[in-house]
Amino acid sequence: MIIVMQQQAKPAQVENVVRRIEDLGYKVHLSRGEARTIIGIIGADEHLIHESSFEAMDGVEKTMRVMQPYKVASRDFSEVRTVIDVNGVPIGGQRIVVMAGPCSIEGREMIIETAHAVKEAGATILRGGAFKPRSSPYSFQGLGEEGLRYLAEAREETGLPVITEVMTPEDIQIVGDYADILQVGARNTQNYSLLRALGNQPKPVFLKRGMSSTIEELLMSSEYILSGGNMNVMLCERGIRTFETATRFTFDINAIPLLKELTHLPVVADPAHGTGKHSLVTPVAMGAVAAGADAIMVEVHPDPAAAWSDGPQSLTLDRFAALMKTLAPVAESVGRTL
């Protein structure tokens, strides 16, 4: 349920409503728009609350039930779009954020070299996998904590915040000790115990769409995190399974503007996994930015041919720099900057 405050509601009246919600055992999300303040109630059984208990309060204009099955993620829940601050980098604001780096951290030198190069080209967040969810148990599984240490070193050297994947609830502590954003991969989009655990910790969460998840399933997955009280969730389209085999996955461009309509959360596009082919990364990234994506995630490797994972879809350092140059005017054409 949301409570819409009157335009002229006083701060003390907003505070009274917030206190009443908290006294009932629920969490609160405050969104102050230009015209009015909306107070969102977060809790698994919030539907049991009676509207009348708030409608009589001073400063309250009305209460509203969110009709979508996803409540906190819904556009109705928040008067303003969510902007996530990651060590001073806002995600969901006017500037399009580019997250770049290798699929897997393969060693200290390669992640540091890549970090410097992507920063130089204009990336604002460094990515790199240490715990890898590989389709085969015989494939490289990531360097684990050693990889996280190299990633943190690359952050110290470049100042770029870092994102990396977490696969199990047990790993949240250790990954959270090193990373600035915790990534949930496509194979874990519906791992509800992982999602719940991520709702109870403070780091921002980057939630990928499962390769066979509908948009509604993705939003319901985000709700597991949001309903725990962690509002810093971004959603990522990374390609879905279709009958098409010419590309690794089918990047669902529809998802970008549709998610922007349905939710206040930032929307990210991953054209590397979405296509599986480096030559398609730039055109699909351009499409995603034009369609309204708030951020792009791309895989970049100093030597893609020798990459331990996802080489075919990885950009060389030079190709990444070229991508940034190509994307800038596209961002400008939709009123954004890169």
Footprint on this chain of ligand PEP (rule: CB under 6 A): 103, 129, 133, 185-187, 208, 238, 273
What is the Cα–Cα distance from 329 to 66, expressed in whole angstroms? 38
CA 63 to chain centre: 29
Contact call for residue 180 and Mn ion (CB under 5 A): no
Q: What is the smallest separation between the CB atom of 147 and ligand PEP, expressed in angstroms?
A: 12
Residue 108 or residue 187: which is nearer to ligand PEP going by CB? 187
Residue 17 or residue 186: which is nearer to ligand PEP going by CB? 186
Q: What is the smallest separation between the CB atom of 145 and ligand PEP, expressed in angstroms?
A: 18
Contact call for residue 171 and Mn ion (CB under 5 A): no
Residue 60 or residue 126: which is nearer to Mn ion going by CB? 126
Nearest to 126 by CA among 184, 168, 169, 178: 178
Count CB atoms within 10 A of the CB of residue 57.
15
Count CB atoms within 10 A of the CB of residue 241.
12
Residue 46 or residue 299: which is nearer to Mn ion going by CB? 299
Buried b (16+ CB within 10 A) or exposed e, 89-108: bebbbebbbbbbbbbbbbeb
Contact call for residue 165 and Mn ion (CB under 5 A): no
Per CB under 5 A, which of residues 291..330 are in contact with Mn ion? 310
Nearest to 175 by CA among 190, 162, 189: 162
Is there a contact between 17 and 61 (Cβ–Cβ < 8 Å)? no
Alpha helices in 140-189 (DSSP H): 145-158, 172-178
Contact call for residue 106 and Mn ion (CB under 5 A): no
Contact call for residue 103 and Mn ion (CB under 5 A): yes
Q: What is the smallest separation between the CB atom of 2 and Mn ion, expressed in angstroms?
A: 38
Q: What is the smallest separation between the CB atom of 137 and Mn ion, expressed in angstroms?
A: 17
What is the Cα–Cα distance from 31 to 195, expressed in whole angstroms? 24
Q: What is the smallest separation between the CB atom of 155 and ligand PEP, expressed in angstroms?
A: 18
3-state secondary structure of 13: helix
CA 57 to chain centre: 36
Q: What is the smallest separation between the CB atom of 192 and ligand PEP, expressed in angstroms?
A: 17
3-state secondary structure of 32: strand
Minimal CB distance residue for Mn ion? 103
Angle among Cα 86, 91, 95 to the nearest 5 degrees reads: 125
Rg from Cα positions in the chain: 21
With CB under 5 A as the contact rule, which of the stretches 73-81, 102-110, 140-148, 201-209 interacts with Mn ion? 102-110
What is the Cα–Cα distance from 153 to 167, expressed in whole angstroms? 22
Q: What is the smallest separation between the CB atom of 173 and ligand PEP, expressed in angstroms?
A: 21
Q: Using CB distances below 5 to 8 A depending on partner kind, what does residue 238 bind out of ligand PEP, Mn ion, none?
A: ligand PEP
Minimal CB distance residue for ligand PEP? 185
Q: Using CB distances below 5 to 8 A depending on partner kind, what does residue 90 bind out of Mn ion, ligand PEP, none?
A: none
Residue 149 or residue 187: which is nearer to ligand PEP going by CB? 187
List interacting residues with Mn ion (CB under 5 A): 103, 310
